[in-house]
Amino acid sequence: MSQQEDMVAHGAGHPDDADEVAPGEAGVATAPGEAAADDDALGADEPDGDGDSRRAGTSVAELELEGEIAADYIEGLLDVADLDGDIDMDVEGDRAVVSVVGATLEELVGRRGEVLEALQELTRLAVHQQTGARTRMMLDVGGYRQRRRAELAAAGQDAVEEVRRTGEPKRLWAMNPFERKVVHDAVAAAGLRSESEGEEPERRVVVLPV
């Protein structure tokens, strides 16, 4: 395992990492311009299997409502757990984004983001219960996802360079759906192909030569 792989696999730069343990994620990512099929179905970065067209018709007002419901739910959890944190809401593309910022954050992220992923799943269920619609709302804590994206994108670029040098496929370590999606996107942006193989929780990205 390279130094970059080791850093990312162990969530360097953050108390631990995440992007999700989510049900329902399929497939194969691909050439530039195509959407990677991996994502976190009820996790972080994935297209809904049957929902891209529906989400495309979701209004900003509906997404803002999802964010408000999610923020209220998270605020209630923070109160129950007696944890500090301010909540920010935003809309990015076709999803609401709720971020928790403040001093007490590690408890909300957990090892490799496992707690964060569980909180996101619970929050999405809370939003679904009130709106009756599936949501791709994303939850972040202390900028964890942004830092993780940078680490994973760098690992994806390292894998691309190795595949170009050797001409051989490169299998990465097991990742959750969010992590795989970030790597797929980085590989596609670099002009190579990637796919996912294996079953959860050992599902991983394979970077393929041209």
> What CATH code is carried by the domain that includes residue 116?
3.30.300.20
Supply the pLDDT for residue 5.
Answer: 42
The residue segments making up the domain with residue 86 are 3-208
Q: Nearest Cα to 141, choosing from 182, 93, 83?
A: 83
Quote the number of domains for the chain: 1
| Inter-residue contact 158 to 7 (CB < 8 Å) | no
> With 0-12 CB in 10 A as exposed, 13-18 as middle and 19+ as buried, what is 146?
exposed
Residue position matching structure tokens 């408890």: 107
Buried residues in 106-128 as b, exposed as e (16+ CB within 10 A): eebbbebbbbbbebbbebbebbb
Supply the pLDDT for residue 18.
Answer: 34
Mean pLDDT for 40-61 is 48
Average pLDDT, the chain: 78
Supply the pLDDT for residue 84.
Answer: 84
